[in-house]
Copies of this chain bind each other. A is one copy, B any other.
């Protein structure tokens, strides 16, 4: 689903973890077997190991497996010490207040967009139910924009992996259309979502780039065709880009605390 299985035993075990997560509900051993490339005994041992390790949790009342609590602890660490998300927090608050629109902060998880933080104009923010969500890279503003600014080889690999499901009439249909769009985004410095994922929903996104030009993540402002249009969003570009630049500066500055003084 995400990482190519491989990487020996560890990779295989982690693919099982993904599989369980993908079900979206507690799942029985038989169901896993049915959808797994591994023979029964092998899968059984993986599930045992992962459960032992707290990466899966087993509910003895229903005889089902679900992703385990240890993941929540690890994700807390991941979120807290990624250079991007904690640093971006106050900037998202400010931008959200200033614009009154929904803000997303995203990173790439293999070929998918992963939202790591969000400010919703309307509703109060929701915990894990928001952060951790994933979306397709080829038809979201942040996804396309992050792709556009990656090194060429990396972009190509990811473009290959997209599956191009047509969500709306505006969804880009294939790799050719996507590549053209990426070229345009690279030129402009920002990208749109022109109701490509959901009718009526539009968005504008800018990349967050490190000093060395690496893509750290993406920042987007989402709105609806009821409230504004693409030109309206485009007017926000300077402010959004400025915020992205500030986040990038602070995230890059993150020098890792003092290496022990050299001998």
Contact = CB atoms under 8 A, between A and B. Distances in A.
A72 B113 CA distance: 12
Contacts of A131: 72, 76, 127-128
Contact of A62 (B17, B27, B256): B256
A77 interface: yes
Contact of A71 (B13, B46, B71, B127): B71
Interface residues of A, number: 79
A157 to B, nearest CB: 13
A158 B204 CA distance: 51
A28 interface: yes
B82 A14 contact: no
A222 interface: no
A220 interface: no
A249 to B, nearest CB: 13
A81 interface: yes
Contacts of A86: 129
A235 interface: no
A129 B28 contact: no
B214 A3 contact: no
A81 B127 contact: no
Contacts of A22: 77
Nearest to A82: B66
A99 interface: no
A96 interface: no
Given A81-B25, A256-B64, A259-B28, A69 B11 contact: no
B61 A67 contact: no
Nearest to A24: B81
A109 B76 contact: no
A258 B8 CA distance: 35
13 contacts: A2-B54, A2-B73, A10-B53, A14-B55, A60-B212, A61-B211, A61-B212, A71-B77, A72-B79, A75-B132, A77-B132, A79-B127, A127-B128
